[in-house]
Amino acid sequence: MKIATWNVNSIRTRLMQVVDWLQANPVDVLCLQETKVVDADFPRSPLENLGYHLYVSGQKSYNGVAILSRTPVEDISIGFAPVLGADVVGDLDEQKRVITGIVGNVRIVNLYVPNGSAVGSDKYHYKLRWLKVLREYLKTLLEKQPHELCVCGDFNIAPDHRDIHDPKGRDEHIMASPAERQALQDVLTVGLADAFRKFTAEAGHFTWWDYRTRAFSRDRGWRIDHHYLTPNLYNQAISCTIDKAPRQLEQPSDHTPVIVEF
């Protein structure tokens, strides 16, 4: 089983790149982030014609997540509220960042973690609050059901210095500040481990490159897209790879796909 994650930065702009990529890489599940489209306008047919079932949660202009699966997905749920209750979640489900469902014996959680804008900003505090609720959400999911978890998506956090092209002076940089990294580590204490680091310990493997300053051609990137797995699934993982090919195309997303295989 192969599960991929890809922040496409608008599914309508990137549709043909996603179609081409799925034809070349017929993964079992593809989790998309930043679809940037309301559900009624999601371009379903070209993806359904490839044999995928689609489950989407989007909004106008910003955010938006989707799960594409070769087999029907069971027990789809959208946002934090179905698991935690509306009173706990408050305003956090207004932005469409969470979709989950079960494929085989695996519960897949597809996330678009808030960017945070700048350290100390209102959006930064929103990001930290969101990550706290995410921890409770995953903990509750695990308590309610015995499934293995694959929690994947755009986390907008580089876990450590190996995950940034130039780690110098990054403590005050969004996606690398100590509070964000600690919030991510707190999430993982529910019992999750980074699939990529099972296979690759060295620095210099990235999933996102800034559109500006020719960052991709200079390989000035960050590893911010991840798969986090519960222990049994982690043990069953046989590879986790970054496919840089889509980032090299004309008019690419600034992120590129990551694939885990069991």
Query: Among the residues of 152-252, which ranges form H helices?
Result: 178-188, 196-199, 231-236
Q: Which amino acid is at 167?
A: P
Indicate which single residue of 62, 71, 74, 189 sits in contact with DNA (rule: CB under 7 A).
Answer: 62
Of 53 and 255, CB closest to DNA? 255
CA 166/CA 147 separation, integer angstroms:
38
User: By CB under 7 A, is residue 212 in contact with DNA?
Assistant: yes
Q: What is the per-residue binding string for DNA in 99-138, x denoting contact by CB under 7 A? A: ---------------xx-xx----x---------------
Active site residue 147: no
Other beta carbons within 10 angstroms of residue 36's beta carbon come to 20
CA 169/CA 174 separation, integer angstroms:
11
Query: Which residues 6+ apart lie within 8 Å of 88 measured at CB?
Result: 80, 133, 136
Q: What is the per-residue binding string for DNA in 215-234, x denoting contact by CB under 7 A? A: -------x-x----------
Q: Which of 55, 112, 124, 228 does the annotation list as catalytic? A: 112
Q: What are phi and psi of 258, to 5 degrees?
A: -125, 135
Indicate which single residue of 93, 154, 180, 194 sits in contact with DNA (rule: CB under 7 A).
Answer: 154
Of 171 and 210, CB closest to DNA? 210
Structure token digits, residue 75: 């027990």
Residue ranges that bind DNA, judged by CB under 7 A = 7, 9-10, 12-13, 34, 36-37, 60-63, 114-115, 117-118, 123, 154, 156, 174-175, 208, 210-213, 222, 224, 251, 254-255
